[in-house]
Structure 1
Amino acid sequence: MSKLAESLPPGVLAGALRFVFGLPAPLRRLIAGRPITLDGQRLHPEAQLLLRLQQLGGEDWQTTTPAANRTALTRSTALVRGPVVGNVTVRAVSMDGVGGRFYTPRGLPEGSPLLVFYHGGGWVSGDLDSHDNLCRFLAVEAGVRVLSADYRLAPEHPFPAAADDAQTAYEWAVANAAELRIDPARIALGGDSAGGNLAAVTALHAGDVKPVFLLLFYPAVDATVRRRSRELFGNGFFLTDQKMDWFLDHYAPSRDSHTDPRLSVLLAEDLSGLPPTYLATAGFDPLRDEGEAFAEKLAAQGVPVVLRRYEGLFHGYANILGVGGVFREAVAEAVGALRTGLALANTRQGVAETA
């Protein structure tokens, strides 16, 4: 990060970002540079502009130390997450030793569905604050309560600590459904990146009460194979090849753990018990191909799945709610899928009760 960027408050930089995004289209194109086309996909002009501004401002998601990485992610998220989403009450919860944050849209009646959400950040960074506005947005727009889990981070707590905490959070939500005023038969799991990994792993190992829907943004699902998208998009599009190795080395330093389905969930032999799934990938994302391979395996094993590739976007778009429009539109589509999935789960539940 440049010294100038470090000296300016995040609010000032966020305002400058919004100003640039509000410029006439010809000026925005001039700043962004020549269009970028790769693998038959064109990087969306808004995505290209944001990457260019981050480059010019010296903003980077650093991998020098875990502390520096966490600080950089916190700062970069503050620039793009947008104004705080209102009309939702928020309170802290403790889930058998795992911290969390519980979101309830104002006026939402008792007995609503619940989304248990796991934040991204490579299992090393990210926290309740980094994904606070995204959770608010999901809660309000989908009309659900949201429970965000503050799982332990590596390297202080390596694999499988995060997976253990993710499981604990889900089981706690099931056991405390009455206190949370949610319907235990309509609990969805969701997450972005490493959080998507934890959501899928948790669903795979759920007990008697199964989640009814999976909401996965560009999940990490296979630590054993370097797919083509990693070679194509491993540099210059926010999440890099170097960062992926760095995260994995901190979370799962033992190579033996890389084949464990609690990390590489794509390698699980039987995925047929997973719930209906909405899986979104980004075209310019090193994780694109493994996410799509996971969706294909789900479909092959009979799991209803909607796979949506946003060709012009890059990894991390779900947190970009404050600048441009294409990022927010992509998250809004996921919200629609979540609402539909939960409504269909309610229908299936009603049919089962009358059978």
Structure 2
Amino acid sequence: MSVMDADFEAMLQLQAQAAEAQPQPPLDAIPPEMVRAGYRMQRQGQNLNAPKDVETRDLKAAGGAGDVPARLYTPAAAATPSGLLVYFHGGGFVIGDLETHDGHCRRLAAGAGCRVLAVDYRLAPEHPFPAGHDDALAATKWAFEHAVELGTDPTRIAVGGDSAGGNLAASVALDLVGDAKRRLVFQLLLYPGIWPDQETQSRKDLDGPVLTRAALDWFEKLLAAVGHPHAERAMLGNRDLTGAPPALVVTAGFDPLQDEGRDYAERLSAAGVKASLVHYPTLVHDFYIMGDVSPAVPKAAAETAAALKAALG
């Protein structure tokens, strides 16, 4: 295994010392809203130096059961119309929001020169599966229908997301295969949770950092997708990938999800889909939203945004 990025290693050492001095109760003992608040505070504090020359507009997009909040990012250099990335944040379907991923969406928008529509889909356990997946699909359809007022070109729309958001993006991309009115041109899957049927080696080997087994179990329990009649919308291990849009899959070396991301890229390629895999061996899960921790993050974000720019034309 590679050596971890030194700045992330230092951050994790400080966190471990703090946890030793003040041990935290297990996740099951903390109300989800408190976990969300802690995550929001931490990630916002680690991503303060994202581009400022990006205009933001909060709006409402269609969801699966009524409107959901969304935020449109328009970089200063964006043409009108521009391409559009419909983006779903990570957080295990339980935590994360527009604020935790604000800096990350700014970097993507500025680097790709396109508009980004971040969708604040409903979270479990208050809204168990498939609420988030329904919202992601409905919001993407809404973006096609409102492309002109969003300042975007309906022939240049992509979906993307990180971690659980990568699962949502991949799921939406498959749900829209064969929809002649809504042809996605790209999917951006950043350390996606694919939820394979067989436990991968990296899930067996890695308990953290950042994404622990306890957290993965907690997320899975609260989402309550296992055993649902439409569980295949989240558990993508056996989905037919034929006809899916071209993809960029990004994985990190210190991330339990790395093997399922790699395997998904390989499955896409085997299904005849143009799929690229980019692996950052020294980085950890969630790195895109910790932009101030290491110079490696803005560099990786710029490379990802360049790929998005090329895909959206």
Fold match, TM over 0.5?
A: yes
Partner in structure 2 of residue 67 of structure 1:
33
Is 1:272 equivalent to 2:272 in the alignment?
no
What is the CA distance between 1:107 and its match in structure 2? 4.4
Is 1:333 equivalent to 2:294 in the alignment?
no
**Is the partner of 1:290 in helix, strand or coil?**
helix
Is the 8 Å Cα contact of residues 167 and 202 (structure 1) preserved in structure 2? yes
AA aligned opposite 1:285: D
What is the CA distance between 1:180 and its match in structure 2? 0.9
- CA-to-partner distance for each residue in 1:244-302, whole Å, 9 max, x for gaps? 010010012x531398221112320x212111111001111111111111111001111
- CA-to-partner distance for each residue in 1:14-56, whole Å, 9 max, x for gaps? xxxxxxxxxxxxxxxxxxxxxxxxxx32222122112112223
Q: When the two structures are aligned, how many residues end up with a matched partner?
A: 301
AA aligned opposite 2:205: L
AA aligned opposite 1:166: A
**Is the partner of 1:250 in helix, strand or coil?**
helix
Partner in structure 2 of residue 48 of structure 1:
9
**TM-score of the pair, normalised by structure 1:** 0.81
AA aligned opposite 2:233: R
Residue 282 of structure 1, aligned match among 220, 237, 252: 252
Q: In the aligned structure 2, how far is the partner of 1:328 from the partner of 1:69?
A: 26
Distance 1:255 1:109, change over 3 A: closer
RMSD of Structure 2 on Structure 1 (CA):
1.8
Q: In the aligned structure 2, how far is the partner of 1:336 from the partner of 1:51?
A: 29
Q: Runs of 4 or more off by more than 3 Å in structure 1? A: 57-62
Is the 8 Å Cα contact of residues 81 and 321 (structure 1) preserved in structure 2? yes
Partner in structure 1 of residue 189 of structure 2:
216
Partner in structure 1 of residue 217 of structure 2:
245
- CA-to-partner distance for each residue in 1:67-103, whole Å, 9 max, x for gaps? 2220221121022112252111111111121210111
Structure 1 or 2, whichever has the larger Rg, is: 1
Partner in structure 2 of residue 291 of structure 1:
261
In the TM superposition, what are the counterparts of 1:52-131 in structure 2 within 5 Å? 52-58=13-19, 63=27, 64-96=30-62, 97-131=67-101
Partner in structure 2 of residue 319 of structure 1:
289
AA aligned opposite 1:231: K
**Is the partner of 1:278 in helix, strand or coil?**
strand
Is the 8 Å Cα contact of residues 213 and 277 (structure 1) preserved in structure 2? yes
Is 1:255 equivalent to 2:216 in the alignment?
no
Which has a greater percent of helix? 1
- CA-to-partner distance for each residue in 1:197-225, whole Å, 9 max, x for gaps? 00000011113212101111100011533
Percent of residue pairs bearing the same amino acid type: 40
Distance 1:61 1:153, change over 3 A: farther
Gaps of 5+ in 1: 1-39, 344-355
Higher RCO, Cα 8 Å, sep 6+? 2
**Is the partner of 1:148 in helix, strand or coil?**
strand
Is the 8 Å Cα contact of residues 61 and 72 (structure 1) preserved in structure 2? no
What is the CA distance between 1:134 and its match in structure 2? 0.8
Is the 8 Å Cα contact of residues 8 and 293 (structure 2) preserved in structure 1? no
